[in-house]
Amino acid sequence: MDIVIRKVTVDDMQDVYNLVHELAVFEKEPEALIISVNEYIEAYTESLIDGFVATQNDNVVGIAIFYMTFSTWKGKCLYLEDFYVQPGFRKFGIGQKLFDAYIMEAKNLGANMTKWQVLDWNNIGLEFYKKNNATIEKDWWNGKIFLT
């Protein structure tokens, strides 16, 4: 399988949006995706998000979308917001290639850590991250307030 991992472009935003929707369905929360592809384009144009895509024959089959943040305890952090490979393209090492590109980007940007969330029932995801020597925290709870 001929897969290309490359940086995301503004022209990829519709495909990114479609894969994020697939991810939301997988996570059993499709109604939680409330923004439009135009907001993705705006966020990318304003450098709020960046990422990598995995393509086969110019079709986007996987994504790693991230942004830089800051920890007052650890310093620069590259946050992995969405990481997804379409089911028919799993088991070919695409996820690992995307994740490796993400880790290398974090190093190139001078980040001291990377961070993401994974659902407690996503055993495949948990095993993937453990295989990559990730620390999976279980003692911190997420907090949020929706403003819209």
**Residue 42 domain-assigned?**
yes
**Residue 144 domain-assigned?**
no
Q: Report angle CA 42, 18, 133 to the nearest 5 degrees.
A: 90
Q: How many domains does the chain have?
A: 1
**Residue 139 domain-assigned?**
no
Can you give the pLDDT at residue 146? 87
**Residue 142 domain-assigned?**
no
CATH number, domain containing residue 87: 3.40.630.30
Inform me whether the pLDDT recorded for 119 exceeds 80: yes
Q: With contact defined as beta carbons under 8 Å apart, do 136 and 130 qualify?
A: yes
DSSP, res 42 = H
Inform me whether the pLDDT recorded for 61 exceeds 80: yes
Give the confidence band of 28 by pLDDT, cuts at 50, 70, 90.
Answer: very high
The mean pLDDT of 12-33, rounded to a whole number, is 97
Can you give the pLDDT at residue 59? 97
What global pTM score does this model have? Answer: 0.95
Give the range of the structural domain holding residue 81, as residue numbers without chain letter. 4-116
Task: Give dist(CA 111, CA 128) in Å, integer.
Answer: 21
Task: Give dist(CA 31, CA 46) in Å, integer.
Answer: 26
**Residue 104 domain-assigned?**
yes
